[in-house]
Amino acid sequence: MDPERQAFLDTLVPYCPNKKEIWHPLDIEYFKEYPAPVMENAQRMHYTNLNSTITFFGPMLYYFARAIGAEHILEIGMAEGYTSFYLANAAKDNGTRYGMAGNMYYGVEILGKALDIKEQMDKLELPNDIRVMSSADITPETFDNVTFDIIFQDGNHERDYVVKEVETLYPQLKGEGKGFLICHDVYGPAEDGVHEIINDPRYNWEYIRICEIYGIAILRKMDGYKEGKRWTN
Ligand SMILES: C[S@@+](CC[C@H](N)C(=O)[O-])C[C@H]1O[C@@H](n2cnc3c(N)ncnc32)[C@H](O)[C@@H]1O
């Protein structure tokens, strides 16, 4: 590697409790190929390799969650914990910024490695409630009395899973335009399910989809929304 670039990378001291995992070889490879100092700095803290197919989504989700002041964030499908890290930090940092107590990142993952992610989050004092379970088993009692600002749907993208997750969790998503369902792979495997929930008359959304990187959709729950709103009310 170009020594100047290496020297720059050496200055990026990660906020990571586990020294073994300080260097993320895939990150270095990625940035060597596609230099992007702003992103390198934004990405230097996470405890896992960046998800190089959806490089931007971690920071994008962080800033989105910060922009809306999200308190309770649910992620379905955590994999290596890449986006999980950003979402959990957003919940924590919103709590600090707005003096809110009880902010929480909730994660649901079928694989036991989610418990390793939990261990990392605990070390970093990131507020988390991580369950090793299938999203198919979520009931209204699973997250009793929790109302979510964001649900990030990134688990099993088959139609039945996507539809069932939304059927169960729609009542627990904030209304009045304040709750967001973010779906990945909507121009890929999640297309059928997400198309169905967008058009289901039981739900009231405004939404946007982008096609790039398998597609992402942001659906905003509009139940109880009053037109004529200004940002101050
Ligand atoms: C695309 S990956 C998640 C990537 C992660 N959100 C990120 O961007 O870093 C999908 C994950 O969903 C998990 N998964 C699959 N089916 C699931 C289900 N029914 N419930 C919960 N998690 C599931 C898989 O084990 C896998 O880790």
Atom of ligand 1 nearest to the CA of 54: 8
CA 101 from centroid of its chain's CA atoms: 20
Q: Tell me the CATH architecture of domain 57-221.
A: 3-Layer(aba) Sandwich (3.40)
Q: Kindly give the distance from the C-alpha atom of residue 116 to the centroid of ligand 1, in angstroms, as a whole number.
A: 15
Looking at the chain, which residues constitute the CATH 3.40.50.150 domain(s)?
Answer: 57-221
**Confidence at residue 174, expressed as pLDDT on a 0 to 100 scale:** 98
Residue with the larger pLDDT of the pair 175 and 51: 175
What pLDDT shows up at residue 45?
A: 79
Confidence at residue 15, expressed as pLDDT on a 0 to 100 scale? 41
The count of C-alpha atoms lying within 13 angstroms of the C-alpha of 173, restricted to the half-sphere facing its C-beta, is: 28
Q: What's CA 126's distance to the chain center, in Å? A: 14
How many Å lie between the centroid of ligand 1 and the Cα of residue 94? 25
Taking the model in full, what pTM does it have? 0.90
Q: 103 with 95: CB under 8 angstroms?
A: yes
**Structure confidence by residue, pLDDT tens digits, 158-195:** 999 999 999 999 999 999 999 999 999 999 999 999 99
Tokens of 7: 């020297």
